[in-house]
Amino acid sequence: MFTLKKSLLLLFFLGTINLSLCEE
């Protein structure tokens, strides 16, 4: 369960960075 939570957090973090880069 902890691994799944970390994976989701990582995906969300990467997704946010991707959006920020695309907006530039």
pLDDT in tens, 1-24: 789 999 999 999 999 999 999 877
Residue 23 has what pLDDT? Answer: 78
C-beta neighbour count of 9 within 10 angstroms: 10
Residue 24 has what pLDDT? Answer: 73
Q: Where are the alpha helices (DSSP H) in the chain?
A: 2-23
* pTM score over 0.85: no
Residue 11 has what pLDDT? Answer: 97
